[in-house]
């Protein structure tokens, strides 16, 4: 685990850079993917440093977990051609492995299946 000093140093450096670009940068630089990612990383690091409450971080101010649960439920209900309780959500490749994410009728239960058929189930909270 990283030290608090290291996490705080990275967050402060990101805040300085993103703040400068936000205040003085060109429009295309302010909208750059790296800028968006850096801003999101600052939010996460602020939460990790306990400068933001978990309740607020989970709210619509940041993650908006209730909205994500609604979206997952809509995706499940809107999927067609599936039978049983498992619905494919997405697939992703990681090196040589292929992962398929599925949800049961309970939208908080997710399963990850690899191309070698190993399965991991977990709950979204």
Q: Name the nearest CA neighbour of 66 among 124, 122, 3.
A: 124
Q: Return phi, psi of residue 37, to 5°.
A: -65, -45
pLDDT at 42 over 60: yes
pLDDT at 46 over 90: yes
Burial of residue 34 (CB within 10 Å: 0-12, 13-18, 19+) is exposed
How far apart are alpha carbons 98 and 113 in whole angstroms?
8
Q: List helix spans (H) across the chain.
A: 4-24, 27-30, 33-48, 54-58, 65-78
> At which residue do the structure tokens 């997952």 appear?
72
For residues 88-98, average pLDDT:
47
- Indicate the pTM of the whole model: 0.57
Question: According to the model, what pLDDT value does residue 71 have?
Answer: 80
Residue 99 in this model has a pLDDT that exceeds 70: no
pLDDT at 70: 80
Q: What is the DSSP annotation of 33-52? A: HHHHHHHHHHHHHHHHTTSS
Residue-level length of the chain: 125
- Angle at CA of residue 56, ends 54 and 60, nearest 5°: 125
Chain-wide mean pLDDT for the chain?
A: 75
């Amino acid at each position: 685990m990283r030290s608090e000093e290291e996490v705080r140093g990275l967050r402060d450096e990101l805040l300085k850079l993103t703040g400068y670009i936000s205040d003085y940068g060109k429009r295309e630089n302010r909208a750059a993917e790296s800028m968006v990612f850096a801003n999101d990383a600052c939010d996460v690091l602020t939460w990790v440093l306990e400068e933001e409450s978990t309740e607020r971080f989970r709210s619509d101010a940041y993650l908006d977990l209730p909205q994500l649960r609604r979206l997952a439920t809509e995706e499940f209900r809107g999927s067609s051609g599936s039978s049983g309780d498992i619905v494919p959500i997405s697939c992703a490749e990681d090196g040589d492995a292929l992962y398929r994410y599925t949800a049961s009728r309970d939208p908080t239960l997710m399963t990850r299946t690899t191309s070698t058929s190993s399965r991991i189930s977990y709950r979204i909270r």
